[in-house]
Amino acid sequence: MKSNSILLGISALFSVCMLVPDIDIGSQVYAQGSIANSSNSINSTIAAKSDRINLRVEEVTLNKSPTNLVDVAGKISNNNTFSVHDVKVMAVYFDNNGVVLGKSDKFVSSQSFVLKPGDVMPFQLLDVVAFDKVDKYNMTAFGRVAP
């Protein structure tokens, strides 16, 4: 009976671990900052992988949600000469020792939305990271060439 309980516990733990996705956040960073201040480092080159187009991330603010999570708001600017769609924001959050607290990878536009050259779109998202522990963050935005 005791071995069945242990086996059931291990099986449940394995099932939970299989549900947690590993998110690739890429290596290009376009907005970096900390809770106190934010600075942008922008580059509008075309990504080497597939048709990912880098976009400018601006005016990023991190706020504390009522449940102590990170509430992110900002703007994404299409500084390219062509339209993009499938706009996505990728974020990494760090504590004051540089330890990664969490990562996110979220679409911030609908499938039918097209961001034209020179246009700016606001975004807001809630990330499951303890706001009180965040010291710095990296934000990246990209889209795909619109058909």
Looking at residue 82, the DSSP 8-state letter turns out to be S
Residue 119 near residue 78, CB atoms below 8 Å: yes
Of 55, 134, 49, residue with least CA distance to 90:
55
pLDDT in tens, 35-49: 544 433 333 333 334
DSSP state of 2: H
pLDDT in tens, 52-73: 899 999 999 999 999 999 999 9
Residue of 143 and 8 predicted with greater confidence: 143
Give CA–CA dist 93/133, Å, rounded.
9
Which residues, in sequence order, are CB contacts of 132 under 8 Å at separation 6+?
Answer: 64, 68
Does 17 score more than 50 pLDDT? no
Domains of the chain listed by start with CATH number: 26-145 (2.60.40)
Q: Which residues pair with 111 in a beta bridge?
A: none
In the predicted structure, residue 16 carries a pLDDT above the cut 50: no
Does the pTM surpass 0.75? The reply is no
Radius of gyration of the chain from its Cα atoms, rounded to whole angstroms: 18
Does the pLDDT value for residue 8 go beyond 60? no
